[in-house]
Structure 1
Amino acid sequence: MVFNEVEINNFRGIKHLVLSDLRQINLLVGKNNCGKSTVLDGIFLLSGFSNPLLNLRINQFRDYNRFNEEDLALNFYNMISDNHIQISGNMMDGTIRELKITPIVSESQIVISKEDISTQALSNKEANISTGLTMNFSYTKADNEKKSDSAAIIITSKGVDGNIKVRSSKEYKETLSGVYINSKFAFNIAVDNLTRIIEEKQEQVIVEILQHIEPRIKSIAVLKSGVNVDIGLNRLVPINMLGDGIRKLLAIITSLYECKKGLVLIDEIDNGMHFSSLSSLWKAIIKTANLLDVQVFATTHNIESLQSLNKVLSDSECIESQNDIMCYSLRHMPTDELKAYQYPYEKFQYVINQEIEIR
């Protein structure tokens, strides 16, 4: 397990949020646009706090691929870049991670076009121009030794498809493994992960997990950059033919294997899954996360998914994992703070059984 507490400030629609008493599997629920996916994005940034390209990745997860001067403020609270993003996390080993994202501002442009001049305000001061983002990060170990560093992403040319330059940390090397599976996940990640698993002769474990949803699967292989399975026919079948649910499960399980002692973030965990497969999905995640010591953060607003999790946790084979699960119901407060109401197993079981709405 990685984090036992995470705090997010001034990130997109989140003015302030604290997630405390984190467990091995953490489920985020709440209304649409309450900030569930944003929480995952923030934790993803913190997990790779020395990688400035993650500022682009989290927008690409939302199918937004532009990055120019006008886009620099997108991830700041209320789109005001003076609201510096601050994300921190207390880790299980006693280490504290801290990340502060600030704009790189030049007092004036070195080169300015006639069009830029004509749009300047009638003032005796030139407008500040944002040219990039700086990620200032630090980590404090249990013995209070603190180390700080920074990295940056810089726009080097104007326009919709402007060029960028990355300034990486010269000293810090990330050791924490983290994977983000969004609702429109890139399946090629699962292919790459599965290739390494096969090289380590661990593919039978993956097959046994997939069999909970598709019992016909006998073996699995990577051929011509695609995943193929043996379902008893006279030739292997591309796994794409078995539906999105089986592909989603493969992406999740292979990511868990890839991130031993790390974390996996899953947006809309049940997307593409038939309700009859949800129990198998939860069993696979609980067992694999426990086996490999992976911390999972997942979002959902599907009541059938919550009911399936509740049922799985009451089964004898998963009863020991009840204390490894925490559900957080996210609610926006009048102060614009995002409040996380905690539902450990007994409280979670009660509200689900009584059909009390927590989504």
Structure 2
Amino acid sequence: MNMPIALPAAHQTLMFNEAAETAALVAGQFARNRETVAALASQLRASPPPFVATCARGSSDHAATYAKYLIETQLGIVTASLSPSIGSVYAAPLRLEGALFIAISQSGKSPDLLRNAEAAKAAGARVVALVNVEDSPLAQLADTVIPLGAGPEKSVAATKSYLASLAAIAQLVAHWKDEPGLLAALDTLPQSLGEAWNQDWSTLTDGLVDARNLFVLGRGLGLGAAQEAALKFKETCGLHAEAYSSAEVKHGPMALVGAGFPVLVFAQPDETGAGALAVADEFHARGAEVWVASARGASSTAPSSVQLPLAQAAHPALAPLLTVQSFYRAINALALRRGHNPDLPPHLNKVTETV
């Protein structure tokens, strides 16, 4: 006879307590990295790269999605994700002369990421490492290191290191653009993250206890948040979830959505928000269970979906960090409700060393 596994209380998990540290660590990160980031930004303004390439895996790659949209919307510089397999498996030479190569990693020691960073540097790219382990091999080979400063993260599910990655990207882009509004918004981010942590998303937790499948929708700056949420549903809750752009979901995947099918929508407080809300209304009208995280409130064109409260972002570009922070608290509780320990997902390790 199998004995039930004893689970901690929601506030006792490593995931809960590590995610709860985010506001304070981002404040420290901004203060510590300000001079390094400002110097790098000055160099990038003086000699703009022709394009930006990112390289990462897992949650760090979801941070890279955020980087793509933030750099392209704020700076107008094309940004693409470089598959780690290009350098490690295919060993294909790439033309990266003058490019900015951003490697994002918690451990800084995944072999495929290191090979790509080495290849990028050899090809003439400026290598910038966003890394949590400051004496890691990745940090040692980078031209510039922006430490995440998240400290030890013992839960297998990354939380504070992911948000620290987004914060580092936001700080770099704000200084690079040198735009007063975005720079001022950074100063308010730690307080806003604290407010986001205290939002009540219990309706989402209650509604997904018995779910088997789920779509998570975002768009633009919010797409990386949707990708991160879908990963966390699978990783911590054993719940199959897929992330889609709220535009792309209408190109086939929406055929699956109908009565009883759950959908979580992250609506950005920017030009993409109205479209996301319209999709939420359409799915709700078809009988789907829909939760909408939106600072703008519910759409008025159809019966209201379940609304999830969001902390107000001082700048739309920072909204994804607040959305994810509220989500982390909810997903920790959901994992426990579904009988899973979010700190110890089956078959997973903290560091995945792919080659």
TM-score normalised by the chain length of structure 1: 0.25
Higher strand share: 1
Higher helix share: 2
Structure number, greater radius of gyration: 1
